[in-house]
Structure 1
Amino acid sequence: MIPEALRRALEGGGAASSDHDLNPEVVLPADRRLRAAAVLVPVWQREGGARLILTKRASHLAHHPGQIAFPGGKIEPADESPDHAALREAQEEIGLPPAQVEVLGRLPLHETVTGYTIVPVLSLVRGDFMPVRQESEVEEAFSVPLSHVLDLSRYRVEQRLWRGGWRRYYVVPYGPYYIWGATARILRSLAERVQP
């Protein structure tokens, strides 16, 4: 049932999302230059129910230290496609073999406040998998029940001061994991598309 629901969620395109969705007062320059990135949204098929694999970024990193994120990163010139970039990054960051991944398709683009346009690559992970984290970038690899992040009632809007103004964003916490920002926004977009 889960693969079918995810495939249906990819039908019909959809509008891009943004870290600015909840901040309509922000005026973005029309000539802004965004860097291309891709992330894997890996749904892991398990006996007890589907789970979503996420990472906690290393606390020493200059950008987004300690934040919960999808495996992913910049699209490099050698990458054949955003899908290839997402699979490459997932293998580098958590040791996920591309052969275990079935790419289902791409969710709508997401623009971040840090100047990236992200291609979320929705995928299924099959079989057993023991994460091997890239210690220089990943503090922890973990999974959460897919049902948790597909439940719209689990999302809330919070805000914090950022660059002199209040910035609002989605959060979808799970246990000790504070999932927020771009990761939560992309997951909410997926949850909205899966709803009947």
Structure 2
Amino acid sequence: MDSSEIRQALIAAQRKDSAASSDFDLNPHVELTHGRILRDAAVLVLFQADAQAGARLVLTKRSSALRHHPGQIACPGGKIEALDGGPEGAALREAREEIGLPDGAAELLGALPAHETVTGFTVTPILAWLPRAVPLRPEPGEVAEIFSVPWTHAADPARFRVEERIWRGTMRRYYVAPFGPYYIWGATARILRGLAGRLSQ
């Protein structure tokens, strides 16, 4: 697929109906607290047009100095603030702060269903398209590295597999989609797995 076809596929994917996802999808034995309070957040699932790969997904490796999720792979994003005006504004603000995405550089394509994390957030993924390469810079306090994976890695459900580990005393299952030295897992992998499933329909 070329860049224009990929852009159209992303637009079509976000229009398809599907349920919200959760870090608990693969762990039905976990009993969730009724009436739990979740904090609203948003991430920017940013694809950049690329002559060779068609498109590449922009990801970050979080700083190892961060209190929450140090060193993990993530899409740019964070909590929705009152002045953001909603998930789209929050995702763009966080991308500007974390990777230096210039205002107006990316086209917003739509939102994917919300995702609940084990850390108490409801995350709205915002699909975005970057038609051309722009200089990006990591915010040293939050981002250790900016990298990208090719479209074929992000859009293929077969690239994702399920692994498990002990978390808070119980076995937890989760999606992973490793790419070279980057271990993409947890909420990021679950959100991307959901998108890959929509793209393959």
State if a TM-score over 0.5 links the two structures: yes
Q: Distance in 2 between matches of 1:10 and 1:143?
A: 21
After superposing the two structures, state which structure 1 stretch, 112-121 or 92-101, moved more: 92-101
**Percent identity among equivalent residues?**
58
Aligned to 1:37: 41
Aligned match of 1:59: 64
Alignment of 1:12-161 (within 5 A): 12-48=16-52, 49-161=54-166
Number of the residue aligned with 1:177: 182
Tell me, yes or no, if the aligned pair for 2:88 and 2:126 is still in contact at 8 Å.
Answer: yes
Root mean square deviation, CA, Å: 0.8
- For residues 163 and 174 of structure 1, what CA distance do their matches in structure 2 show? 27
- Partners of 2:188 and 2:55 in 1: how far apart? 18
1:105 & 1:188 partners in 2: Cα distance?
A: 17
> Partner of 2:13 in structure 1?
9
Structure 1 residue 13: deviation in Å?
Answer: 3.1
Q: Give CA deviations for 1:59-96 in whole Å, capped at 9, x if unaligned.
A: 01110000000000000111111100000000000001
Q: TM-score, normalised by structure 2?
A: 0.96
Q: How many residues align?
A: 196
Give the C-alpha shift of residue 12 in structure 1.
Answer: 3.2
Superposed CA deviations along residues 134-174 of structure 1, whole A, max 9, x for unmatched, are: 10000001110021121111111001111001100000000
Deviations 1:12-40 (A, max 9, x none): 33200000000000011121000000000
CA 1:12–1:153: 2 relative to 1, 3 Å: closer
TM (norm. structure 1) is: 0.98
Once the 2 structures are TM-superposed, how far is the Cα of residue 42 of structure 1 from its aligned partner?
0.1
Q: Among 179, 189, 192, which residue is 2:194 paired with?
A: 189
Shift >3 Å, 4+ stretches = none
Which runs of 5 or more structure 2 residues have no equivalent in the other structure? none
Structure 1: state its 5+ residue gaps: none
Relative to structure 1, is the Cα distance of residues 152 and 12 closer, same or farther in structure 2, using a 3 angstrom cutoff? Answer: closer
